[in-house]
């Protein structure tokens, strides 16, 4: 099916639930954990996610527009993506939404992308195994979300700090 308003990977009921839950939450930070990317990038031959031209970009764009219209930004909303075989932090150029990919748990499963394929949306890219940890810590009484990418040896490879506004 061609991408457009009648194509959905989430379905109408789940999409409405996501939006209402985000609006009802009084949490400083809202985190969407998705098995597939909304920003990516991802391989161009695929069509199973919100990034690919043959995928569900229209639904993603509707969601990102809704986020902007309702006061969500990279200061209070982020996406964590699994099922990518590389670690990354990407920012959507139009809406400023940020996505963190956890990457694979082992170096053996890292691949499908390469470190020399850096794109404008990447703030961090590393084709390596490890994991992503996200915590909220208080600094001088203010909650700060900290996203850290780790290597398989436990070394911190990337750290991103988000201060809610």
pLDDT at 165: 74
CATH number at residue 73: 3.60.21.10
Is the separation of the CB atoms in 131 and 117 below 8 Å? no
Total number of domains in the chain: 1
The pLDDT of residue 44 is above 90: no
> 140 in a domain, yes or no?
no
Considering the domain boundaries, does residue 148 fall inside one? Answer: no
Q: Within a domain: residue 150?
A: no
pLDDT tens per residue, range 45-89: 888 999 988 899 999 999 999 999 999 999 999 999 998 999 999
The C-alpha atoms of residue 17 and residue 14 are separated, in whole angstroms, by 5
User: Strand, helix or coil at 60?
Assistant: helix
Domain of residue 22, residue span: 12-129
Look at residue 2 and tell me if it is in a domain: no
Which among 99, 131, 104 is positioned nearest to 33, based on CA atoms? 99
């Amino acid at each position: 099916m061609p991408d457009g308003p009648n194509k959905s990977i989430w379905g109408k009921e789940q999409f409405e639930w996501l939006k209402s839950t985000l609006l009802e939450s009084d949490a400083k930070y809202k985190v969407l954990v998705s098995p597939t990317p909304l920003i990516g990038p991802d391989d161009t031959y695929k069509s199973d996610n919100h990034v690919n031209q043959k995928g569900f970009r229209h639904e993603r764009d509707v969601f990102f527009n809704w986020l902007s219209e309702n006061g969500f930004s990279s200061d209070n909303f982020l996406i964590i993506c699994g099922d990518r075989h590389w670690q990354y932090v990407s920012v959507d150029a139009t809406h400023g939404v940020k996505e963190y990919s956890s990457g694979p748990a082992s170096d053996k499963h890292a691949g499908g992308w390469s470190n020399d394929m850096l794109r404008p949306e990447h703030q961090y890219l590393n084709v390596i195994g490890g994991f992503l940890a996200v915590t909220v810590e208080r600094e001088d009484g203010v909650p700060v979300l900290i996203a850290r990418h780790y290597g398989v040896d436990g070394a911190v490879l990337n750290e991103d700090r988000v201060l809610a506004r």
